[in-house]
Structure 1
Amino acid sequence: MTQKILIVSGSPSLSSRLYGPVQYLQGRLAEEGFASELLHIVELPPADLVTANFAGTEIREALRKVEEADAVVFASPVYKASFSGVLKTFLDLIPQEGLRDKPVLPIFVGGTIAHLLSIDYSLKPVLNALAARNILGGVYSVDREIERRPEGGYILSGETQSRLERSLSELKLELARRESVPAELPGVRA
């Protein structure tokens, strides 16, 4: 059975440099035989996000995708030394234990190396509150490491590609480990 990876983009812009690493990761996941889907939070109904309308059809569908994913990648630009408010509104809708038993991979893109620890200090505590216990190291890239191509797409620095490859290896190992552990042992969670 093909494992499903959900990539959740917290960018308020569909042309953000964030999509350089996201597209690279999607391509590599496909090469490795994983099914991936990209969820653009900014395309969800804004009123439903802001008012936490759990009854909204598109919100329910997005939360179903999180629930059914074998692993989740949370991608965000860095603003004010933290992840985007767009991502925060979506994280607020995920049920209290909605990330239990799922490997989670953060990918951040910021304007400066000064915010390198924003994954650790801003995102990881929120993910822990959602019962994520297997948060992978993550990838932080600086804008200048992601070049927009005039014809479309992006060129990533060798360093960014290397960090993405390490994170992909870590994710693959974790998913393989989870597959080899029996799903239902009495009193034990995989």
Structure 2
Amino acid sequence: MPSIIVLSGSPSPTSKTAALGGYVEARLRAQGHLVRSFRVRDLPPVALLSADTEHPDIAEVVDAIAGVDAIVVASPVYKAAYSGLLKALLDLLPQFALAGKVVLPLVTGGTPAHVLAIDYALRPVLTSLGADHVVQGWFVLDRHIGVDGATVIEPGAESALRAVVDRFSEVVHDRHPLAAAL
């Protein structure tokens, strides 16, 4: 069974990005993946910002990333790029931490102008970390994500998001040796 990490890079305690990650996590679980999620905001800030890779919480995330088949990287857009909080974690990963992995970049923002953050900010760093296959990323407007007890994606945005997540799932299944044998 393919394993996936959903990584949320939002610093907000009421994050629509994290809610989006939870929605994607549930969909991937329903498709037969082992999924684990991490919110970077929950990592100890001193260890994260001082690059203390030996701190148990930081080491846990780095080790978990090393052991999965795929990763979903979700971030809100700040200043035309992914969050600095996410950058702090990505900087702690070994140079080729994403080698052999399929990666799905997801970005949330307040305006369609932020969609470029996927290809001009996030995709290059994921590629530089050795990602084997960065699938088509997806941008979701903040206003299309509702968080009221349960994550709700506006119907028009949800159908497009489902298609992207399902394609990612197919690629992960196709690349996983045990899934291909089933």
TM over 0.5: yes
More displaced 10-residue stretch of structure 1: 159-168 or 129-138: 159-168
Q: How far apart, CA to CA, are the structure 2 residues paired with 1:28 and 1:136? A: 17
Listed as ranges, the gaps of 5+ residues in structure 2 are none
Listed as ranges, the gaps of 5+ residues in structure 1 are 182-190
1:156 counterpart = 2:156: no
Asked if the contact 1:21–1:164 (Cα under 8 Å) also holds between the matched residues in 2, the reply is no
Q: How far apart, CA to CA, are the structure 2 residues paired with 1:34 and 1:43? A: 24
SS of aligned partner of 1:125: helix
More helix by share: 2
Counterpart amino acid of 1:34?
H
- CA offsets, 1:32-58, max 9 Å, x none? 111111101111111111111111111
Q: Percent identity?
A: 37
More displaced 10-residue stretch of structure 1: 66-75 or 124-133: 124-133
| Structure 1 segments (4+ residues) deviating >6 Å | none
- CA offsets, 1:10-37, max 9 Å, x none? 0102311113321221111121111111
Q: How far apart, CA to CA, are the structure 2 residues paired with 1:35 and 1:177? A: 15
Match of 2:100 in 1: 101
Match of 1:172 in 2: 169
Asked if the contact 1:20–1:156 (Cα under 8 Å) also holds between the matched residues in 2, the reply is no
Shift of 1:180: 4.6
SS of aligned partner of 1:54: coil
Q: How far apart, CA to CA, are the structure 1 residues paired with 2:21 and 2:156? A: 15
Counterpart amino acid of 2:14?
S
RMSD: 1.4
Shift of 1:173: 2.0
More displaced 10-residue stretch of structure 1: 20-29 or 71-80: 20-29
Larger CA Rg, structure 1 vs 2: 1
Asked if the contact 2:18–2:39 (Cα under 8 Å) also holds between the matched residues in 1, the reply is no
Match of 1:188 in 2: none
Question: TM-score, with normalisation over the residues of structure 2?
Answer: 0.92
Q: How far apart, CA to CA, are the structure 1 residues paired with 2:65 and 2:164? A: 20
Counterpart amino acid of 1:39?
F
Question: TM-score, with normalisation over the residues of structure 1?
Answer: 0.88
Asked if the contact 2:7–2:21 (Cα under 8 Å) also holds between the matched residues in 1, the reply is no
Match of 1:84 in 2: 83
Structure 1 residues 159, 138: CA separation in 2 closer, same or farther (over 3 Å shift)?
farther
Match of 2:21 in 1: 22
